Structure 1
């Protein structure tokens, strides 16, 4: 699939967001071009998850957010989903008492007009991406391993065929080998044309898979640039990459 990478899929200007009187994000500017992987790294409490929640419409915000050129800052969560935005939250938010395949089907409600054939085709694509989910399609989601739950959360989001997919800490709580597998999957999604906004504490893995990166500290962007350049920036190396390498 060819993608017009010169097209802005996401543009955020002067974004302020928070909870009640506590402002967490202070005037953020960022962009993600179509078909690119953009990462936001930073320490705990920097506001990374708040950023994704604000973009999804579940945290109060002010400023301008444009998706594929159209303003969406005033739209409710449901309308943002219908426009092709999906979020895989840090908590996974699966229905543990439902089978794997039912969880996946719930992710496709945006595409419900496609009928059974369209649903089956979408499922086949997810099972090709995650063969383990096919093996466990009748298993209850709550009985899956941590890595399998993350696969299911990602697969469910992809069932909606999003144009913009946002991932909140996809490596959280996963074993190192599973983390490697997850990031290989994220890298492979480029071929589908989806734009990825990746929030991640594992800065080394995030910058290795991303095209462009932002460093978020105390609610403000303090550094940005091509991911390869950030990975070589002395401040990033000392603050983020060194700690990862020392594990």
Structure 2
């Protein structure tokens, strides 16, 4: 079942087009990844889907979530429907504690007067034991990997059905990257669907079910992730360097 359906999506800033006719889908319980070089339009795609384009951004095309049109739906309403974005910059509140940052992730549920609005806190702490150990610390004292875990945990507090991740491995040491991707697989096992935008093509293709290659604003290839990982063009362009380093 298609959870997210994107059809012929065009996104521009002023007179400059960043996306040209992107079409993709994410099925329930699936990890779909979008790989591509810097400047290809990957973050623009996620911002458009989240309703977070800047003021000069404009888009056309169809975006449907759970068979409902998201056109003109505000970012807060998209979150309420189950769409959550973990941005590249993570955007944590550095002077607040780890636990308070997490609780902010359930604020929408609190506003909706859900009695158990914080019920995901034990789930998050089980996924990220280090966050439980550091729950009283200020978020600004965490390492890069721990901050990424906190950003993921905060998004999960809202009980999303679709979790969109923008470059979760950015700036992290290789061992931490491996841990983050193991956690992404665990997240899929909880039932949440994931749209993963990632420059680390090798790691992304290893965890994803379906993959899209985005270049200069256009999706130029797509297919099962395992199949694309064997495609000569993908190997040469995105996996060759990693393969020689292994």
Q: State the partner residue of 2:9.
A: 15
Q: State the partner residue of 1:105.
A: 103
Q: Is the 8 A contact 1:15 1:29 kept in 2?
A: yes
Cα distance per residue 1:182-230 (max 9 Å; x no partner): 0000011122111100000000000000000000000000000000000
Q: Is the 8 A contact 1:98 1:140 kept in 2?
A: yes
Aligned to 2:151, which of 140, 150, 153? Answer: 153
Q: State the partner residue of 1:221.
A: 219
Cα distance per residue 1:144-194 (max 9 Å; x no partner): 100000000000000000000000000000000000000000011122111
Is 1:66 the equivalent of 2:52?
A: no
* Cα distance in structure 2, aligned partners of 1:150 and 1:138: 17
Q: State the partner residue of 1:41.
A: 35
What TM-score comes out, normalization by structure 2 length?
0.95
Structural mapping, 1:208-247, within 5 Å: 208-247=206-245
* Cα distance in structure 2, aligned partners of 1:220 and 1:244: 24
What is the SS of the residue equivalent to 1:134? helix
Q: State the partner residue of 1:95.
A: 93
Shift of 1:246: 3.5
Q: State the partner residue of 1:124.
A: 122
* Cα distance in structure 2, aligned partners of 1:192 and 1:241: 29
* Cα distance in structure 2, aligned partners of 1:246 and 1:68: 42
Q: Which moved more, 1:224-233 or 1:69-78?
A: 69-78
| RMSD (CA atoms) | 1.0
Structure 1 residue runs without a partner (length 5+): 1-6
What is the SS of the residue equivalent to 2:125? helix
| Structure 1 residue runs of 4 or more that deviate by more than 3 Å after TM superposition | none
What is the SS of the residue equivalent to 1:125? helix
* Cα distance in structure 1, aligned partners of 2:150 and 2:244: 30
What is the SS of the residue equivalent to 2:23? strand
Q: Is the 8 A contact 1:49 1:168 kept in 2?
A: yes
Is 1:203 the equivalent of 2:201?
A: yes
Q: State the partner residue of 1:3.
A: none
Query: How many pairs are equivalent?
Result: 239
* Cα distance in structure 2, aligned partners of 1:244 and 1:24: 28
